Amino acid sequence: MKRAAAGILVCSAFFLLLNVAGGHALAKSTKEVLLMADEARGNRSGMEWEVTVSSVEKGRQNEMVYNVKARGFDILAVSLSPPNDKGNAILMLNGSMWFHKPGLSKAVPITQRQKLLGNAAYGDIAATNYANEYKALLLGEETEGDEVCYVYDLKAIEKKATYDGIKYWVSQQRLVGIKAEYFTVSGKPFKTATMEYENNIQTEGKARPFISKMHIRDVLLTTDHTILTFNKANMREIPDHIFNLNLLVK
């Protein structure tokens, strides 16, 4: 009995030590951490926001503005400017994406990976679904800025995913993704991004951070860069017809 009791005490002390050392890691699984990070980038029951995509390429500046309605990972993004693009629409439904321009008789299939503007892909203006579209491996912890982060290696398990591979830094304290490196299918890095979360939304009576800025650069560290600025974020009910492909062309 004494030997068994001693064993229990040793095990209890061991798990207590792990709890103190691991902190958030024991409190939440990798899946839970990624789900929380996804929520801070649009994975909600119903949301609307405005995103401005500003790009500098070879000294030339361009800008596009979209109104985005989202429910879970489905979105309808409608162009507000520039004037020549006003009314252009991007619909994403169950991971598939279409583009429609006023005057076209049908929507054109596109992918999340296609270039939108500058360093930004179409998928960058949508909600992230890293928790389900990627196989995640926890690499360890690193300090990024003044925040201790979980660092994950993400490999796409969905062909429709925006990127083949991602190295992803998630703040342990805020449970939001603050940095990412993106890789090709061959494992070659080609661009990086940093994220800010100055927006807040109310959900279940609590304020949660929501992405406010995403700054994307290529790995060559040229002067070219793209900034996505997210404004006017609010929770709201999004009706089913918003995501109807047949209504998009009418």
* CB 89, CB 78: distance < 8 Å: yes
- Residues 224 and 219: their CA atoms lie apart, in Å, by 10
- Give the type of residue at 142: E
Helix (H, G, I), strand (E, B) or coil at 6: helix
Write out pLDDT tens, residues 185-229. Answer: 999 999 999 999 999 987 777 888 999 999 999 988 778 899 999
Asked if residue 197 lies in contact with residue 40, where contact means CB atoms within 8 angstroms, the answer is: yes
Task: Express each pLDDT in 20-71 by its tens digit.
Answer: 334 444 468 999 999 999 999 988 889 999 999 999 988 899 999 999 999 9
Neighbours of 111 (CB within 10 A): 15
Distances (CA, A) of 18 to 15, 76, 158: 5, 45, 34
Residue identified by tokens 């089913």 is: 240
Q: How far apart are CA 221 and CA 187, in angstroms?
A: 18
3-state secondary structure of 135: strand
Architecture of domain 27-248: Clam (2.50)
Q: Is 2 helix (H, G, I), strand (E, B) or coil?
A: helix
